[in-house]
């Protein structure tokens, strides 16, 4: 996606995952995004500081910002 079209806003976890992994199913994309988060201790701590809990279905704009700062825009 180009910078102009990506907006930092609240996203469903699966919705954001599919933006990162558009060629796989929503379920597989969600699992892959969870894997990325799991293997980044830095991200885990930043998300926990923002009251994120694994299994959460909605990501706040603050959560999304943490993810794009680490992984780039989808």
Q: Is residue 22 part of a domain?
A: yes
Q: Is residue 2 part of a domain?
A: no
Please state the three-class secondary structure of 2-24 as a single string: CCCCCCCCCEEHHHHHHHHCCCC
Number of domains in the chain: 1
How would residue 2 be classed by pLDDT, with cut points 50, 70 and 90?
Answer: very low
Tokens for 10? 């609240």
Full residue range of the structural domain in which residue 59 is found: 11-71
> Is pLDDT at 1 greater than 60 in this prediction?
no
pTM: 0.88
pLDDT, one tens digit per residue, over 7-54 is 999 999 999 999 999 999 999 999 999 999 999 989 999 999 999 988
Q: Is residue 16 part of a domain?
A: yes
Q: Is residue 63 part of a domain?
A: yes
């Amino acid at each position: 996606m180009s910078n102009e079209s990506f907006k930092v806003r609240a996203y469903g976890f699966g919705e954001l995952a599919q933006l990162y992994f558009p060629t796989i199913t929503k379920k597989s994309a969600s699992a892959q995004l969870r894997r990325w988060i799991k293997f980044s201790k830095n991200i885990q701590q930043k998300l926990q500081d923002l009251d994120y809990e694994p299994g959460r279905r909605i990501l706040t704009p603050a959560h999304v910002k943490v993810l794009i700062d680490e992984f780039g825009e989808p």
